[in-house]
Structure 1
């Protein structure tokens, strides 16, 4: 009887693990990243206004992919900051449009020897700042505009360390940075100042580890809470974008919860295999979103990965008991 009960408990645990992170899931070959724009006041992404697809950009400019879109709506048009992939190295580019349909490549805003991605544009005190991911330089660097939109200079080093997708927001007079480190541990930093900032790790940081903690776009700030778009990796990297909701947030206090899905894969498009970044913007008094996604017409095959499911479930458990610690044996197992 004891053996039967033990087997039953084991099967139940396996079932829960598989439901949360499937042992076997579908994957599409020859996937590439593209960028799309859609109205955000509709309940579906069925109507995509325009697409900067990887195949067209490959033929025209030689890019191997395009991702991490951030939009600035200015008086003279729309400026789209993106990462482009060139032989496995991330670089930044700026596109411009006056109608959401036709996009002109303006050029490269920043040129560094290290990988660049996630070009968050921040407007502060009538000045534009750029906060890209500079993890390969093992620091978080803030750039300041000297000649919009392609002239920039390094302004400050905000953090030392290899942080991924560092995202800035302001809430009730304080300035915040949220990111993940190489071990997928989510960190929150706070400063009372924007320029000449003295960033301190928040007393409630780190928030968690693993899935649905890595930032994936511009935060949505309300009077009561901050919604961080975060990447979901339930079926591998770039499965979808979900909400991480921060509330009761101050320089010393924080409560948070994981929210609902914001964007998922869109069948019948170049975004048919996943989405991992989004940004809202307004153009001519209408609300839109820009997002990236992976997909293609490659063959669909099944991936079997028991270790990944076990690891992600363990990290979810550690986060739920507020013990977000990286366990090297899970990666070396």
Structure 2
């Protein structure tokens, strides 16, 4: 008899804490005050949240994955800033390849997004058209010819930095951290000769927007996949970050799904700040046989040309 597969389902939450204040104790204490995004529907999930505050609203951008087609597009969920009441859901970027990890940010009076698009063989920059958060145009490739994943950008001490991983054999994306730098957002981007700068399944793949902590040290959330993909997040600190030298300090605290949820306890793999909020996603694992039938139907549709 065929073994029932394991299928991951993620759920996105808004934690009413600034990112610098999130630790295992504070996250557990805040769990009853977490606002969860609406259920995505059968065989779908939402993950990889990033946010923008604009006027009276919090805009949460997420990967919206559908197992029926085995790829995702990018959705925007709007919440009232005053009470986090959910207002609307809009698909804002839908391309012929998988999209996820929609890091959004503002720079020089423009709004930008760097979604994961490793299936297109590039790390690309998108710009909001006419300031609309629902229309995006590809601006340029930042790094071409690489299956880059979870690219996380930050401007720090007069230079742009990109933290990313590469998809490849042996689950290398779960254990490698690569770094590139540039004089401007649009480049030219130069990967460090020492890449990968860290190889460690306990904390290498980026897991959210880099930020400068209260001690002035640049800090990057990373995934800890030592117990399974996206099992937890932890923090990496970079007290020295130059094109010639990188010093990395790995935090020991792990943030796990059970700290935030009773139903999604198997993982927590995104941790990103947005104003006074922290956005997270947590995972549950389904072990039913429904996924096998779903995969079979998808293969039959492909064979029949539908």
TM-score interval (norm. to shorter)? 0.7 to 0.9
Asked if the contact 1:49/1:100 (under 8 Å) is kept, the reply is: no
**For the residues of structure 2 that align with 1:113 and 1:100, how far apart are their CA atoms?**
36
1:33 aligns with 2:4: no
**For the residues of structure 2 that align with 1:296 and 1:204, how far apart are their CA atoms?**
36
Contiguous gaps of at least 5 residues in structure 2? 289-306
Asked if the contact 1:270/1:293 (under 8 Å) is kept, the reply is: no
Partner SS state of residue 125, structure 2:
strand
Cα deviation digits, residues 40-70 of structure 1 (max 9, x gap) = 24623333331125xx320xxx661000000
Counterpart in 2 of 1:47? Answer: 32
Asked if the contact 2:79/2:88 (under 8 Å) is kept, the reply is: no
- Count of aligned positions: 262
Cα deviation digits, residues 111-163 of structure 1 (max 9, x gap) = 21000000000210111000000100000110011142111111010001101
Cα deviation digits, residues 270-298 of structure 1 (max 9, x gap) = 3311100011122xxxx221100112686
Deviation at 1:234, TM superposition (A): 1.5
Greater Cα offset, 30-39 or 120-129: 30-39
Alignment map for 1:134-149 (pairs within 5 Å): 134-147=117-130, 148-149=132-133
Counterpart in 1 of 2:155? Answer: 170
**For the residues of structure 2 that align with 1:57 and 1:51, how far apart are their CA atoms?**
11
Partner SS state of residue 136, structure 1:
helix
Alignment map for 1:63-78 (pairs within 5 Å): 64-78=44-58
Alpha-carbon spacing, 1:126–1:63, altered in 2? closer, same or farther (3 Å): farther
TM-score normalised by L of structure 1: 0.73
Runs (4+) of structure 1 moved beyond 4 Å? 28-31, 296-299
Alpha-carbon spacing, 1:30–1:192, altered in 2? closer, same or farther (3 Å): closer
Asked which structure has the greater CA Rg, the reply is 1
Alpha-carbon spacing, 1:101–1:254, altered in 2? closer, same or farther (3 Å): same
TM-score normalised by L of structure 2: 0.79
Counterpart in 1 of 2:233? Answer: 241
**For the residues of structure 1 that align with 2:278 and 2:238, how far apart are their CA atoms?**
21
Asked if the contact 1:109/1:151 (under 8 Å) is kept, the reply is: yes
1:187 aligns with 2:178: yes
Equivalent position to 2:79, from 83, 93, 97: 97
Asked if the contact 2:9/2:286 (under 8 Å) is kept, the reply is: no
Equivalent position to 1:205, from 174, 195, 199: 195
Contiguous gaps of at least 5 residues in structure 1? 1-27, 300-333
| Two-structure CA RMSD over aligned residues (Å) | 2.2
Asked if the contact 1:169/1:176 (under 8 Å) is kept, the reply is: yes
Counterpart in 2 of 1:214? Answer: 205
Deviation at 1:30, TM superposition (A): 5.6
**For the residues of structure 2 that align with 1:80 and 1:205, how far apart are their CA atoms?**
32
Counterpart in 1 of 2:295? Answer: none
1:133 aligns with 2:116: yes
Equivalent position to 2:100, from 110, 117, 128: 117
